[in-house]
Structure 1
Amino acid sequence: MKQLFAAALLSLVTLGTIKAQTPDLRRKISVSGTAETEVTPDIIYVSISLKEYFENGNNKKRVDISTLENQLYAAAQKAGIAKENLTISNLNSWTNTSGKKKNPDFLASRQYLLKVSDLNKLDQIISSIDSRGIQSTGIQSYDYSKMEQLKKELKIKALQAAKEKASYMVAALDGKLGDVLEIQDSGDSPVQPVLYRNYAMKAEAADTAGGDADLDFKKIKLSFTVNTVFEIK
């Protein structure tokens, strides 16, 4: 019985080895397809840093951080930004006002994190705050709310592009495209960086510019490539 089992096992191994060594004589064509698009981010986290300043260089006429903060919250509310989308990003900034007690010339600052979906609203908010009280702003992160669905659609388009390419190349040689034998996803492409012009500007720079700084925001660019192998009939 043991000899019979061993013989059967050896037979299966031998057949498997012969099958593995049999060359694939099917005619094939390997092509790649690419699909890309650009979208405007609709989830944007912006850091905003406000800092006290003295009016006209007079250290007795301080514009307090609370005044600037009220301007920010009022502007956000007017722009339709939900209260929870504007938060303090640096808890230490709450205690920095104590420095004024030790040094009359100390200028307190606070950092905030603002979530917006429309850049026009961001521009509206920033322009409602005294530019001399804006120490800096910058993009913390950004995203697109329908990113996963968009990736799926692009990969399908890339696959369709590969099939179309294979079809006309095979047809040019009077052949006919067969079934797809292999599909290889190249993976998710990295999101291209968004360019942003920082609002960091001193009072004199704001006066020279004639007002608030301009926002320069580019779209997110996504590109996906799919490698395929088709049989040629």
Structure 2
Amino acid sequence: MHSQWSPVSGPLAAEQLGDPRAPKVVFLHGFTQTANSWKPIAEQIVARGYHAVVIDLPGHGGASGVRADLRRTADMVAAISKVATYVGYSLGGRATLHVALMYPHLVTTAVLIGANPGIDDDNERARRRDADGGLELRLAELGVDGFVREWVAQPLFGGLAVTDAELADRGRNTVEGLASSLRMAGTGAQSSLWPRLRELNMPVLAMAGENDSKFAAIAAQIAEVVAQGRFVLVPGAAHAAHMQQPQFVVEAILGLLPVV
């Protein structure tokens, strides 16, 4: 029993909490965050009898020096996590989709929050790569702290209140690491997974905040395409639905897990 967060060995920085014999839930964070961002929710899941693993994605936190696209990221996440329920937000949701398609035998259930399977149109994808290139320049200009403040102030996040502790945690990231994540794992960099979603044979819960209209439409479409897909709209939330309505998201995750 891990009563305190302890390291998990593997190709990315990761920590675990709870009884390793219990059903496992793996949490993957969004761009500019670290594994720590999931700990408040993970701790509630562990308190209900489960085992949690949180992972720093390439270019972030303890994996700031790791450079990887989403396929390689999926390889590394799978090597750490093995069989589990995977919960991913935004960038972490796209990583979760890659794990589910590349290692379906490891994904008991997938929970996607504000996740985009990709961009089908080549021209639109090229425009997104250009936009991400602009973000790289802005990151270099502002530094991590300034960039993060500007990032979370976007209308997409619906006035998300970010604590000083959260800002400090995101401030552990590096300009080079975040730039590599944009360049290698951005939505414009990845291949579109829309044509492959029908391959998913595990339950998939696609969630989005009710005030995040773009990603709510995407989540509804994911749930429609996936055989065991389900769409849940998170009330009173924008893109970072799990941060604005954590209890709602905790209960949604618990509703998918085996009884312990």
Q: TM-score, normalised by structure 2?
A: 0.25
Higher radius of gyration, 1 or 2: 1
Between structures 1 and 2, the one with greater helix share: 2
Q: TM-score, normalised by structure 1?
A: 0.27
Between structures 1 and 2, the one with greater strand share: 1
Higher relative contact order, chain-length normalized (CA < 8 Å, sep 6+):
1
